Amino acid sequence: MTESNYDEIMQLLCDRLSSLTNSDTQITPETNMISQLSIDSIKLLNLIMEIEDTFDVSIPINALTDIHTVRELADLVHKIKSAS
């Protein structure tokens, strides 16, 4: 997968997270989705379903255990997409 695909993933995540939160926090790759954006678990799980559909991949929700920041989520999606 190319760098531009990674950027596409990151952009999509930032856009979607922005629409899911009422927070004024500027969303960057280092933003913590739980502590800074207060994204609850169900919103996060629904976001994962959207990402699966956008990139036609399967993302196991148990892979989210160690995911805190937007960059970590983008890395995970990128890794799964690259392997598919």
Partner 1 sequence: MNLLEKLDAAAAARKSLLPNGVGAFGIPIEEVYSATEARIGDRRVLLFGTNNYLGLTFAPECIRAAHEAIDKEGTGTTGSRMANGSYFGHRALEREFADFYQCSSGIVFTTGYQANLGTISGLVGPGDTVLIDGDSHASIYDGCILSGADIIRFKHNDMVDMEKRLRRLGDRVETTLIIAEGIYSMLGDQAPLAEIVKLKNAYNCILLLDEAHSLGVLGETGQGLVEKTGLLKEVDFITGTFSKSLCSIGGFCVSNHPQLEQLRYISHPYIFTASPSPATIASTRAALVLLSKGSDLRKQLWSNCTQLYSQLEETGYLLGPDPGPVISAILDTPQQALQLWQSLLEHNIYVNLILPPAAPEGKSLVRCSVNAAHTTEQIKYVGDTFSKLYNMI
Query: Taking Cα atoms as reference points, which of 61, 57, 59 lies closest to residue 81?
Result: 57
Question: Which H or E run includes 36?
Answer: none
Note whether 83 binds partner 1 by CB under 8 A: no
Residue 4 or 58: the one with the smaller Cβ distance to partner 1 is 58
- Select the residue interacting with partner 1 from 11, 18, 49, 79 (CB under 8 A): 49
Single out the residue of 19, 24, 62, 83 in contact with partner 1 (rule: CB under 8 A).
62
Query: Which residue reads 């160690």 in tokens?
Result: 66
**CA 3 to CA 36: how far, in whole Å?**
27
| Positions that interact with partner 1 (CB under 8 A) | 40-43, 45-46, 48-49, 52-53, 56-63
